A and B are shown apart, each in its own frame.
Chain A
């Protein structure tokens, strides 16, 4: 079945460092891909998405490009801030057509001043 694999955390960075969180997927067909973020004490919220190959999703300085050839959707940010500390989840949308999301295990990011 469809699945998502993302790098294990925690990832610990200093402020202004470059961030990459790797995400790869296995799916039949061409799913849509998402990054959700869970800030401390808050519910999950959508960070960005890409619905077809070569699309780039971006939001709040974060970017991810849908790479069909490598089945990847890596999350990047050029300069992280302390406020980016959170758990990041990569997900794909099941082809059933009703937005059922299959999530990776999540990667905790801690950014220090």
Chain B
């Protein structure tokens, strides 16, 4: 595709519900990253995929957070039993995987947990 696509762009949910956030990376990009941007804070790394495997998931804040990638393409970030502190913008990025190559970011999913 032309760029990294994320859906939905906005998600409002109730505390305790599960949510799924989707990322479609640029075609051919083997590396995929999830970040979280909370109000007034920088981007917090969550997880990195190379192909379908996740060699670095060190940023996932709790076991309520999980992510998968299938076919070396689409990725889904799942948050179970959402809490108010999960409210943030969730950003996905992809790259060719070459050293120092730039990351291409999507526009993000704004998650609001009421």
Contacts and interface: CB of A to CB of B under 8 A. Distances in A.
Whether A and B are associated in the same complex: the answer reads yes
Interface of A: 4, 32, 34, 36, 41-46, 49, 51, 89, 91, 93, 96-106
Interface residues of B, number: 28
Contact of A44 (B48, B50, B105): B105
Contact of B45 (A42, A44, A102): A102
Interface of B: 3-4, 31, 33, 35, 40-43, 45, 48, 50, 55-56, 91, 93, 95, 97, 99-108
Contacts of A36: 105
Most buried by A among B42, B91, B104: B42
Contacts of A42: 107
Most buried by B among A34, A97, A100: A100
A46 B100 CA distance: 11
Given A93-B100, A100-B48, A43 B56 contact: no
Contacts of B33: 99-101
A105 B41 CA distance: 5
Contacts of A49: 100, 102
Contacts of B100: 32, 49, 51, 93, 99
B89 to A, nearest CB: 10
Contacts of B31: 98-99
A100 B100 CA distance: 9
A1 to B, nearest CB: 10
Nearest to A3: B42
A43 B109 CA distance: 11
Contact of A98 (B4, B40, B48, B107): B48
Nearest to B59: A100
